[in-house]
Amino acid sequence: MTHNVLHIRAVSHEMPAFIAMLQARGMASRSLRELTGDDLRGRSAILIEAHIDQRAMLAHRAALRTHLDAGGTLVFNGHLVYPLFDELDPYRVAEGRGVRDLIVERVHAHPVFDGVSCEDLSFRRGVAGFYGRGANPAPSGAVVLHRLRQDGSPLDWVWRRPGGGQIFMHGGNSCWMYVGDQTSAARIAPQLLDWIEAGAPAMAHAPEA
């Protein structure tokens, strides 16, 4: 049910257009500053902004694990630098910083990115690097959706945890930041919410890269 979805937003990075989209679907949005343990219980999906205070989020680390162990979906954006998840390694910066090093390529299709051009991910307003400049390493068994073409950094991946639950990872600025853009990337936000409303179905199998 959509009201079981929780979006946790960073204190200093409000995105009114995305919050309005959540509210229109009956999904909750809470500032990390206001977050309580009760807010995290019984959720089907939890969405976390890229610029969240990860140190403060450590207070909710056990609740996030309980959410996943119960079969919930977690959408995480940003550079993972604090040990919020036992199984995941911290963010790694891409090897190169030039334009060629920041070109995004699709590895596997996913409903969230249906109709989204990699050109619109690689460049925003003519500038490369908005989508990702490195990656949170993908664990064994994860399905990589996008990577940096040059060094293979896995920008987006989906992982069905052996212990239960699913993590949808984007190692850059919040993937719904494009909600107001006049490009195909604007499809990401509504399609992400469509996917969650559909129960965040797992991929039928983990195809070879």
Report CA-CA distances (Å) from 93 to 38, 45, 152, 166, 171: 35, 28, 12, 24, 10
Residue 205 domain flag: no
Domain residues for the domain of 90 are 2-197
Residue 202 domain flag: no
Residue 107 domain flag: yes
Q: How many CA atoms lie within 13 A of 124 on its CB side?
A: 17
Could you give the dihedral angle defined by the CA atoms of residues 7, 11, 12 and 15, in that order, rounded to the nearest 10 degrees? 20
The span from the CA of 62 to the CA of 21, in Å, is 29
Domain count for the chain, please give it: 1
Domain CATH number, residue 63: 3.40.50.880
One digit per residue, pLDDT tens: the chain, 209 residues? 456 999 999 876 678 899 999 999 999 999 999 999 999 999 999 999 999 999 999 999 999 999 999 999 999 999 999 999 999 999 999 887 788 889 999 999 999 999 999 999 999 887 888 899 999 999 999 999 999 999 999 999 999 999 999 999 999 999 999 999 999 999 999 999 999 999 999 876 544 44
Q: Checking DSSP bridges between strand 45-48 and strand 166-170, what pairing results, if any? A: unpaired
Angle at 34 between CA 3 and CA 90, to 5 degrees: 90
Q: How far is CA 188 from its chain centroid? A: 11
The span from the CA of 32 to the CA of 57, in Å, is 8
